[in-house]
Structures are given as C-alpha cells and as structure tokens.
Amino acid sequence: MKRAILITLLLTACCFANAQDLNARVKVVAPKIQITNKRILQTLETAMKDFLNGRKWAADVIAPNERIACNFVFNVTNWDGGSNFSGELQVQSSRPIYNSTYTSTLLNINDRDVDFTYTEGQTIDYSDQNFQNNLSSIMAFYAYIIVGMDYDSFSRYGGSPYFSAAQNVAINAQTSSFKGWKAFDSNLNRYWLSENLNNKLYLNLRGFIYEYHRNGLDVMADNPSKGRKAIAALLPVLQQVDRKRLGSYLPLAFYTAKDDELVSIFSNAAPQEKMQAMNILTAADPSNGAKYQVLGAR
C-alpha cells in the first residue's frame, strides 16, 4: 500500500514538473496603499506564481532549462480592504540568444485594466472552455501570448496556436463586465492585442520577428557584422506593416520591446548603414524618432 502511494506521488510530481513551461517571476506591490496586513499580497503573489508556473501552456515538452523567462509585476492601485483589487500589470518576457549570455525582450506590456476578486487562500480556477474569474483569465491570456511570442521567434508563425488560444480567452471573457476584453474599451487592450496577433494584416510583422531573431540576433554572437546586415536587410519590412490602422496595438508593443535594442544593434554599424537604419526606423516608428536620431549623430 505504501509503495503504491509512493509511486502515485512520484508520478504526480513528474507530471507537475513536466507541466512547467514558464519560468515566471511574480511581484505584487502596493506602494500607494496603506495595507496593514501585507500577508494577503504575499499569498496573492504566490498564488499567481503557482498558477503560471504550474500549468501546461505549450504543446511541446519544454525542458527545465528552456522554460520561458517572464515577469509579472502587479501594482495594486485600489483595494477595498477585502477581496476586490485593481491596478496595473506589467508583463515582460524574453528569449535567450544563441551562443551568448544575452536575452532579448519579446514582450513588454503595461496592462492598466486589471481588476479582480481574490480571497486569501483561494484556489484560482481556470478553464479554456468558459470564463471562471478575471484573475485566472488575465494570467492565462498573457501566458498564451508569452508562449506564442517565444514560438514565433524560433519558427515562422509558430505561435499561431497560442495566439488563437489567447483570443479564445478574450472571447470567453466577453460574458464578464471586466474591462480590457472588449473592442470598445480601448484600442490598446487585451482584445486588440489578440486580434492583431491573429490578423493576417500583421503576418509580415510576425515574419519579421522570426527572421530578426533567427537570422539576425542568433547569428550576431559568432558574426556581429553578418547578423546586423541581415537585420538591416529586413528593416524595410517594418515600413510595409499596415499603415491604415495607425496606433494599432501589435506594432506599438513590438517597438516598446525592441526600440532600444534596435538602436544598440546599429550603434556600431558603418555611417551609411546607421543612417539608413535611422531613416527607416524613424519613418516606421515616428513616436520613438528621438531615440533613432542618435544613430545619425556624428
């Protein structure tokens, strides 16, 4: 009997270990709120971390050393002293660059429409079939987005199943009254992020993301010039991203994650190459034009 129980526990532990696709670090902070009992923030933090790291998000088996690095920082801006929380969620993810210690940011988003109910010690329920609660839906949504972005950077359009799963989370959440899930709430919310990632209008940007990482950054550790030239040749694609929907979420999210990195890549290029990069990037991403102007400085 004891042996059977031991085997069951070992199998359960193995299944749990294999289920971990994310290496999520979670932080819950409340700098502007007077909270005498900080324990609820700690239990919320632990519950979020366990939820993200303890579930199977990807179809493939991901080795422990290949788990996708990501950060979730929830800044509580309003708490009723009970179970109702609201605030902002900063979500970041990155992927390692081949043959180097450098990690490249894939996602860097600040979600301002985060509100949910959570009671200390509560089990966070989630189902892909229907809406259970807002906290689990938000975390599942971003988990699928993170996995999708990672897959897209390693194989062309490899993230499509996960972006579809994220969109399904958003569709299920349409039945709720929480903000961030509906088209009319904002043009920069979860609805539009999943819509853009599943929209054929942005396939060229997703293709760019793959080429940029696999044929650009992944080459640079061994041959910086070759990797940079590959990225330079790709830059015109950014000007082809649909211009009819200016201010769309996906392009903005891309540049938020990549603008500083792009400047760094071309900072050591030849003067002519730097000028070409500056002109293309400024035209494609005018909101960050001041950053790209550094490339034109003598």
245-269 confidence digits (pLDDT tens): 767 999 999 999 999 999 999 999 9
Q: Write out pLDDT tens, residues 152-175.
A: 999 999 999 999 999 999 999 999
| Residue among 114, 38, 22, 111 nearest 71 (CA) | 22
Q: Are residues 31 and 144 in the same domain?
A: yes
List of residues 6+ apart from 114 with CB closer than 8 A: 74, 86, 87, 88, 89, 138, 180
Per the structure, the complete domain to which residue 269 belongs is given by 206-296
List of residues 6+ apart from 187 with CB closer than 8 A: 247, 248, 249
Cβ-based neighbour number of residue 100 at 10 Å: 13
Q: Which single residue is written with the structure tokens 């853009």? A: 196
Q: Are residues 148 and 211 in the same domain?
A: no
Q: Residue 26 forms beta bridges with which residues?
A: 72
H helices within the chain, ranges in order? Answer: 2-18, 39-53, 134-154, 160-172, 190-198, 203-211, 218-220, 224-234, 236-240, 249-266, 271-284, 289-292
Sheet holding 103-117, edge to edge: 22-29, 68-79, 84-96, 103-117
Q: Are residues 219 and 292 in the same domain?
A: yes
Torsion sign over Cα 211, 214, 220, 224 = negative
Q: Is residue 189 part of a domain?
A: no
Q: Are residues 228 and 107 in the same domain?
A: no
Answer with the one of 136, 153, 170 that is the final residue of a domain. Answer: 153
Give the pLDDT of residue 6: 34
122 vs 61: CA distance, rounded Å: 29
Q: Is residue 170 part of a domain?
A: no
Answer with the one of 108, 128, 153 that is the final residue of a domain. Answer: 153
216 vs 265: CA distance, rounded Å: 10
Q: Are residues 111 and 180 in contact, defined by beta-carbon separation less than 8 angstroms? A: yes
Q: Are residues 124 and 221 in the same domain?
A: no
Query: How far out from the chain centre does Cα 128 lie?
Result: 19
Q: Is residue 176 part of a domain?
A: no
Q: Is residue 222 part of a domain?
A: yes
Backbone angles phi, psi at 191, to 5 degrees: -55, -50
Q: Is residue 95 part of a domain?
A: yes
Q: Are residues 141 and 189 in contact, defined by beta-carbon separation less than 8 angstroms? A: no
pTM of the predicted model, to two decimals?
A: 0.92
Q: Are residues 141 and 217 in the same domain?
A: no
Cβ-based neighbour number of residue 73 at 10 Å: 16
Q: Is residue 8 part of a domain?
A: no
163-to-89, 183, 189 alpha-carbon distances in Å: 19, 17, 15
Answer with the one of 108, 137, 153 that is the final residue of a domain. Answer: 153
Q: Are residues 148 and 85 in the same domain?
A: yes
Low-confidence ranges of the chain (pLDDT < 70): 1-19, 243-244, 246, 298
Q: Are residues 138 and 89 in contact, defined by beta-carbon separation less than 8 angstroms? A: yes
Give the pLDDT of residue 243: 66
Q: Are residues 147 and 221 in the same domain?
A: no
Q: Are residues 124 and 243 in the same domain?
A: no
Q: Is residue 49 part of a domain?
A: yes
Give the pLDDT of residue 35: 75
Q: Are residues 22 and 52 in contact, defined by beta-carbon separation less than 8 angstroms? A: yes
Q: How many domains does the chain have?
A: 2
Q: Are residues 49 and 131 in the same domain?
A: yes
Q: Is residue 98 part of a domain?
A: yes
Q: Are residues 211 and 135 in the same domain?
A: no
Q: Are residues 72 and 149 in the same domain?
A: yes
